[in-house]
Structures are given as C-alpha cells and as structure tokens.
Amino acid sequence: MFATSFFNYSYKHILKPVLFLLDPELVHDGFTYIGEKIENMENFVSGLFCYENPNLTKKLLGVTFDNPVGLSAGFDYDGHMAKLMKHIGFGFNTVGSVTAMPYEGNPKPRLARLPLSQSLLVNKGFKSGGAKEVLKRLDNKDLKGHTIGISIGSSNLPQIDSLKKAIDDYVYTFKLFASRKYVKYFELNISCPNIRLKGAFSNISNFSKLCLAIKKLKLKQPIFVKMVNEISLADSDALVSIALKYGIKGFIFANLVKDRSNPAFNKQEIETLSHLPGNFSGKPTFANSLKLIRHTRKKFGQDVVIVGTGGVFNAADAQAKFNAGADLIQLITGMIFEGPQLIGQINQTLSRGQSNTL
C-alpha cells in the first residue's frame, strides 16, 4: 500500500493546506470537474486508492455491497462522479439529494470549514440540477457493477408550499428513477434542516402520508430513511415504526446538527461563523449518531438495516458505528479532512479482523 501511504502524506501535508486556503465550494466544484474527467481511468484510480477483499462484501435488503463503506448523499449531488466512487474504494455511493425541480441553492457563502472542530458548515439547501438533468447524466454513464443509490428530497422552491405538493414532488422523482437498473437503492431524505419545509416530515402524521404515497409506487429497490440527528429517542422510534409499517426497513443515522453549543465544537472557532446560517457535519454529529444507532438496534433488532453516518474520520470511528449496531457506514467530511485514501485504509483495517461485526 505504498501508493496509499504516499498519497496520505501528500494530501495531509501538501495538498490539503493549500486547498483549505481556498473557498470550499470552489474546491468542491473543481474536484467534481476533475473527477468526472478521470472516471474512465479505472485502473489508475483503483491502484491509488481502492482496497478490495471479498470478505468485506455484504448483502442487505437484496442489494450487494462490495464493502461496508459508502459515500453519503451531499457530495455528488448531481451525479457527476457516480462512476468514479467505486474506483476510489467505496462499496456503494449515493447521488443527491436529487429534487424534482432544479434549485440553485441557498445564497452564498453556504459552505465553511471548521478544522479545529473537524466539521463543515453546510447550507446548500438541496442544491440540485433537477431530476431530469441528473437522470440524463447517469443514463449516459456505464454503471454496470456499481452499487448506486439515489437520495430524494423535496424541491426547495416557494411553490412547494403545502404537504400535498411536497409529497407529489417526492413521488415524481421516485417514479422517474424507479425503472433504472443502475439504481440499487433509494434514500428518503426527510431531515435536511436547510430548506423551507424543514421538519415537515418529522411529524408522524405527515411522514405516514409520505410513506403511504411511496408504498403505492411498488418500488423494487429498498428505501433507507435519512433520519434527523437532533431528535428524541421516542420521536425517532415513532418514525421508525411508521416506516416499518409501510415496508421500509432501512435507516440512516443521522443527518446534520444545528446546536452550536455542541461540546464537539471549538468554542472560539464556532463563534467566528455566528454570522452564517447553516448546520454542521463531521465530529459534532458523531455522539448523537452512535446513541441513535445503539438504541434503534436494541429496540428493533434485526427488523431494521442501519447505516451509520456522521463523524467517521478513521477506522476506529467506523468500528464504533459497527459496535453500536450499524450494518454499513457512510462518510463525506472525513474524506475531505483526511483524503480519499481514507476509504481504502478503513476497509483494509476491517479486513484484518479488527471488526467482529462483518
């Protein structure tokens, strides 16, 4: 793994210090452009980053995952890098969140780094090229052998001003992607805190209506609900119970946090962003995520499939998610802070038997 070790050193000590001086959205857009350009250089990219071991393969809800480390929604939101992520080493990757209608995103600046807190401020608000554009892009990629998921959110536009319109908006996007063989699973994002209808589907009655509408579609792909992070255990249980009632068995714990008094933040650092709206990824999400994973596994047992996300920066963080009861994990922020070689490093550690949950 010389190439991985070399890139690890180069990223942390040369590339990252330069990138972290630049606007984070500019860096993201640059990597998106480069990533799409090199997506057909499979052997080169895999040689740098990918660690493969058949013992890491999992089959859950009828879907085969080459390894248990996936890319969360929110990084490749328009599907430009859908083909690349497998070769970086991800066992599965989620495109999105995709919305029915295009939305340019909330006003800039909408991304900021908190290096001391190992976190990102995020306020994109479901920035999306729209479902038709993303569908066309993915249709033009050779995704055979890839485990691709589509995260679906409600269009963040003024005209989506009622519960019925929001549900219809979700349903439209599900229907658009449902027939595509490359879509192996869906994510139902009800927990984005940076949109106009924030919290609408954390309401039990509203969520039940949404689940009923989705059930009527008779989708072949399994669904994973992207759960709220800052939620009581009782309210989380209620949402899980409703989802199970409608045949949804997958749950992702959990999305961003908004509480700026979270002890994971460096106090001085978080104060420098007091003028910016938004919510936070990375380490501040970690503790609540673990609590929700552990509780849900204990209460619902093997009736649920759990994906742990939030604050995974190394193999020990991944192991903590598995120990709490996760079947799979996802990450974004850890890759940004540690480098794309992180995925291979986690998988290599897991394959050495340091995870007794695989």
Whole-prediction pTM: 0.94
Of 8-12, 108-112, 125-129, 134-138, least confident by mean pLDDT is 8-12
Query: Does residue 315 have a cis bond before it (omega within 30 degrees)?
Result: no
The mean per-residue pLDDT over the stretch 36-64 comes to 93
- CATH number of the domain enclosing 14: 3.20.20.70
Contact 71, 332 (CB under 8 A): yes
47 pLDDT above the threshold of 90: no
357 pLDDT above the threshold of 50: no
Nearest 5°: phi and psi at 63? -110, 135
CB atoms within 10 A of CB 129: 19
Contact 187, 224 (CB under 8 A): yes
Burial class (CB in 10 A: 0-12, 13-18, 19+), 46: middle
pLDDT of residue 195: 57
Say how many domains are in the chain.
Answer: 1
pLDDT of residue 5: 72
Contact 270, 122 (CB under 8 A): no
**pLDDT tens by residue, 67-100:** 999 999 999 999 999 999 999 999 999 999 999 9
Instruction: Give Cβ neighbours of residue 186 (< 8 Å, ≥ 6 apart).
Output: 149, 150, 151, 152, 174, 177, 219, 221, 222, 223, 224
For residue 83 the two structure tokens come to 């083909």
Of 23-37, 104-118, 192-206, least confident by mean pLDDT is 192-206
1 pLDDT above the threshold of 80: no
pLDDT > 90: percent of the chain: 87
Q: How far is CA 288 from the centre of its chain?
A: 16
355 pLDDT above the threshold of 50: no
281 pLDDT above the threshold of 90: yes
Of 351, 317, 341, 354, the closest CA to residue 1 belongs to 341
Q: How confident is the model at residue 200 (pLDDT cuts 50, 70, 90)?
A: confident
Distance from the first to the final alpha carbon of the chain: 22
The mean per-residue pLDDT over the stretch 185-203 comes to 79
CB atoms within 10 A of CB 174: 21
Give the structural domain span for 86.
2-354
CA distances from 150 to 54, 121, 160 (A): 25, 23, 21
The mean per-residue pLDDT over the stretch 102-124 comes to 96
Segment (H or E) for 184: strand 183-189
Q: How confident is the model at residue 230 (pLDDT cuts 50, 70, 90)?
A: very high
The mean per-residue pLDDT over the stretch 23-29 comes to 96
- Distance CA(149)–CA(277), nearest Å, equals 29
